[in-house]
Chains A and B, each alone.
Chain A
Amino acid sequence: MLDILSGLSLGIDVTFSTSNMLIGFLGVVLGMLFGLLPGLGPLNGVAILLPITFVLPPESSMIFIAAIYYAGTAGGAITSITLNIPGTPMAAATCLDGHPMAQKGQGALAIFTAANASLIGGILACIGFVFLAPPLAKYALMFGPPEFFALMVAAFACFGGLAGKSVTKTIIMTILGLLLACVGMDVMTGNARLTFGYMGLFNGVTFLTAVVGMFGIGEVLTTIEKGIKAKIIHPKVTWKDYIESLRLIMKHKILVISDTILGFLVGVLPGAGATPASFMAYGFSKSMSKNTKEWGKGIPQGVMATESSNHAASTGAFVPMVTLGIPGSPLAAIVLGGMLIWGLVPGPRLFIEQPRFVWGLIVAGFVVNILAYIFEVSLVPLLMKVLKTPFTVLTPLIVIFCLITGYVQNFGMMEVVQVLIFGIVGYFCKKTDYPVSPLILAIVLGPMTEWTFRQSLLQGAGSPMIFITHPIAFILLLVSVILYAIPITRGILDRRRDKREAA
């Protein structure tokens, strides 16, 4: 308890400096913009803006990223409610009841309800983080290479078992990511690998070129092809709606709190993240509700369920990242890659070696949630105007940012071309249902995966028995096998049943 209090006071010290507060505010504004624009979410915002942080100290960078993250998640709800297009994938479930509310003329009420629910979800999850992360980190300090290798495999398996539609496609993308991580110089022997004899590839493929290519250019191409044609419903915004929304939250506090807990736990599991959490919370609250039929027709509880859980999950996803070095969501995977560039080693030692960073991040979580809330609630009419920004102006701006990001990796044209190629490949992957997140996760964790694997084998004198004699590693690997096996066997059973029914 005393550790936590001294940690929090350190965090307050870090966060409440003038420059960090300014950076946080800037992050809130930018994150809100990314959240509002349909087709782009906090994930794309963080991917595109991450390079800016490389000139800042790690604590400030993390505050900036957290601000984009929370404000983006909050902003996405406004788009879902008024346009019926999810501003972010995390807010997709908010369309279900948010948009019908707007159609009934309760748009402002829906927006305020979403804001209140996300504030509560965000703050409660930050409290959960404070109590869960330090003991978990302490426990993980006992881990050696075999345990970490098993953890990485478990993270891949979670992405495979929970995230994608087809396990085979998820495995292909994971392996592609691991292979891309191998390109360039082998850290243990110095051999040049997978360069096809081409010196330009000797430096390897940096994860940022893949991230901005796939989540920046790939996403833009997907949106261009779909074309956004939707009618905005402009709600009238009054203070009465705000007060009414507060009353509603008080009335349904049990729903909000239980969905927050659910969202937080789903977020802590690697791979799942905020999008599935919000759908699960929606389904859970709907089934617990007395008037199930009202759901989907514009009921405020629907908005509360999705928005409290997605914010809680966003925070939960940072728990395994800070304590174990395993990201809990695709976005956390990008942040993890960023941490490596900031010179931090994600994992349990972070609490001991970088207390300023960890506690700064935790306190920033609270502050940024409140900042985003105030910004959103006070500026709803202005934010609605952002929705009118034409996509044809945004497209070239985003493209240029992505390409510059590629360039500054190495100050060479090689990376610029890589961004473009990743963009086109990413577009086709989306088109053919190949999930992109496992690839990003694999590129980020790839070097660590191979290194811990080879370290473990050195430790075990070349024998793979070491993964069986270390109990934690063995259990984690067993769980991974089961996670992969469940969807595969289910697929086979489904096919058999289909055949039987057809015959």
Chain B
Amino acid sequence: MASFWAALSVAIILEVHFIPYTKQPIGWEKGLGPQAGWFPFWLAVIMLICSLIVLIPKLINAAREGLKDEPLMSVEGFMAIMRALIPMVIYVVTLPWLGFYLGSMLYLIYYIRAVGKHSWTLSLLTGTIFSVSVFLIFEKALKLTLAKGFIEPILNQFL
């Protein structure tokens, strides 16, 4: 994780000061105080220093004793996370086409049936009831329009 933070802070330092297109003035104007880029630039510098403080002892240890094979998570844990994460990512990626209502319904039905191993009745019921109630709460009661995807013309008839 520390190497991730180090990389991120380097990217931010580059973004603020070195890349011509996004660069900001990082100086200190006399009588006025810091310019727009001052705050992010120095924050990123401190973050880089801190992540190096965490990272360097680890690297020294690794160099001295060889890399230890300590897995970050167990195989079962990893599989469990992936089973939850992959449908989540697919749900987000397909949102522009399926919209929240159809997408949520399919996601719920799949997850409760395939991952939770519950009955078809429970998964179909939860999926349908949840999507319909979200539709009623958001579109009807709160008047907030969520993305509806390709079924938008059909759903709009109910408004």
- Residues of A whose CB lies within 8 Å of any CB of B are 55, 166, 168-169, 171-172, 175-176, 178-179, 182, 186, 188-189, 191-197, 217, 220-221, 224-227, 390, 392-393, 395-397, 399-400, 403-404, 407-408, 411, 413, 416-417, 420, 424, 427-429, 431-432, 434, 450, 453-454, 457-458, 460-462
Report whether B40 and A429 are in contact in the complex, using a CB–CB cutoff of 8 Å. no
Report whether A392 and B37 are in contact in the complex, using a CB–CB cutoff of 8 Å. no
Shortest beta-carbon distance from B1 to chain A in Å: 4
Let me know if B59 is at the binding interface, CB within 8 A. no
Chain B positions 28-50 with a Cβ under 8 Å from a chain A Cβ: 28-37, 39-40, 43-44, 46-47, 50
**Of A225, A226, A396, which is within 8 A of B111 by CB?**
A396
Chain B residue at minimal CB-CB distance from A226: B77
7 A-B pairs closest in CB distance: A392-B116, A457-B33, A396-B111, A432-B1, A225-B77, A191-B36, A175-B47
- Extra pairs beyond A193-B36, A194-B12, A458-B32 (15, CB < 8 Å): A189-B35, A191-B37, A192-B22, A194-B40, A196-B22, A221-B81, A393-B116, A393-B126, A396-B87, A396-B112, A399-B88, A420-B88, A457-B33, A462-B29, A462-B31
Report whether B108 and A396 are in contact in the complex, using a CB–CB cutoff of 8 Å. yes
The distance in angstroms between the C-alpha atoms of A225 and B54, with both chains bound, is 26
The distance in angstroms between the C-alpha atoms of A182 and B96, with both chains bound, is 28
Q: How large is the interface on B (under 10, 10 to 19, 20 to 34, 35 or more residues)?
A: 35 or more
Q: A179-B40, A408-B146, A431-B72 are in contact. Are A454 and B54 (CB under 8 A)?
A: no
Report whether B50 and A458 are in contact in the complex, using a CB–CB cutoff of 8 Å. no
Report whether B32 and A462 are in contact in the complex, using a CB–CB cutoff of 8 Å. yes
Report whether A175 and B73 are in contact in the complex, using a CB–CB cutoff of 8 Å. no
Q: What B residues does A225 contact at CB under 8 A?
A: 73, 77, 80-81
Report whether A186 and B36 are in contact in the complex, using a CB–CB cutoff of 8 Å. yes
**Of A55, A171, A390, A424, which is within 8 A of B142 by CB?**
A55
Number of interchain pairs (Cβ within 8 Å): 155
Shortest beta-carbon distance from B125 to chain A in Å: 11
Q: A182-B40, A194-B12 are in contact. Are A397 and B108 (CB under 8 A)?
A: yes
The distance in angstroms between the C-alpha atoms of A374 and B131, with both chains bound, is 33
The distance in angstroms between the C-alpha atoms of A413 and B96, with both chains bound, is 8
Report whether B96 and A189 are in contact in the complex, using a CB–CB cutoff of 8 Å. no
Q: What B residues does A411 contact at CB under 8 A?
A: 145
Q: What A residues does B16 contact at CB under 8 A?
A: 193-194
Shortest beta-carbon distance from B69 to chain A in Å: 17
- Max count, chain A CB within 10 A of own CB: residue among B32, B44, B84, B107: B84
Report whether B95 and A413 are in contact in the complex, using a CB–CB cutoff of 8 Å. yes
Chain B residue at minimal CB-CB distance from A191: B36
Shortest beta-carbon distance from A462 to chain B in Å: 5
Q: A413-B96, A450-B39 are in contact. Are A393 and B112 (CB under 8 A)?
A: yes
Chain B residue at minimal CB-CB distance from A420: B92
Q: Is the interface of B mostly helix, strand, loop or mixed?
A: helix
Q: What B residues does A427 contact at CB under 8 A?
A: 81
Shortest beta-carbon distance from A452 to chain B in Å: 12
Q: A193-B16, A420-B89 are in contact. Are A179 and B44 (CB under 8 A)?
A: yes
Report whether A454 and B92 are in contact in the complex, using a CB–CB cutoff of 8 Å. no
Report whether B80 and A400 are in contact in the complex, using a CB–CB cutoff of 8 Å. no
The distance in angstroms between the C-alpha atoms of A166 and B50, with both chains bound, is 11
The distance in angstroms between the C-alpha atoms of A172 and B11, with both chains bound, is 15
11 contacts between A and B (CB under 8 A): A171-B47, A172-B5, A224-B84, A225-B77, A392-B112, A395-B84, A420-B89, A453-B39, A457-B32, A462-B28, A462-B31
Let me know if B158 is at the binding interface, CB within 8 A. no
- Max count, chain A CB within 10 A of own CB: residue among B51, B89, B118: B51
The distance in angstroms between the C-alpha atoms of A225 and B78, with both chains bound, is 7
Q: What B residues does A458 contact at CB under 8 A?
A: 32-33
Report whether A175 and B28 are in contact in the complex, using a CB–CB cutoff of 8 Å. no
**Of B81, B108, B118, which is within 8 A of A400 by CB?**
B108
**Of B12, B50, B91, B115, which is within 8 A of A179 by CB?**
B12
Report whether B46 and A175 are in contact in the complex, using a CB–CB cutoff of 8 Å. yes
As a 0/1 sequence over residues 70 to 113 of chain B, the CB contacts with chain A under 8 angstroms (1 = contact) are: 00110001001100110111011001100010001001100110
Q: What A residues does B21 contact at CB under 8 A?
A: 197
Q: What A residues does B33 contact at CB under 8 A?
A: 454, 457-458, 460, 462
Report whether B36 and A189 are in contact in the complex, using a CB–CB cutoff of 8 Å. yes
The distance in angstroms between the C-alpha atoms of A420 and B88, with both chains bound, is 8
Q: What B residues does A407 contact at CB under 8 A?
A: 100, 146-147
Shortest beta-carbon distance from B70 to chain A in Å: 12
Report whether A179 and B43 are in contact in the complex, using a CB–CB cutoff of 8 Å. yes
Q: What B residues does A432 contact at CB under 8 A?
A: 1, 72
The distance in angstroms between the C-alpha atoms of A197 and B21, with both chains bound, is 7
The distance in angstroms between the C-alpha atoms of A396 and B91, with both chains bound, is 10
Report whether A404 and B73 are in contact in the complex, using a CB–CB cutoff of 8 Å. no
Let me know if B144 is at the binding interface, CB within 8 A. yes
Q: What A residues does B118 contact at CB under 8 A?
A: 390, 392-393
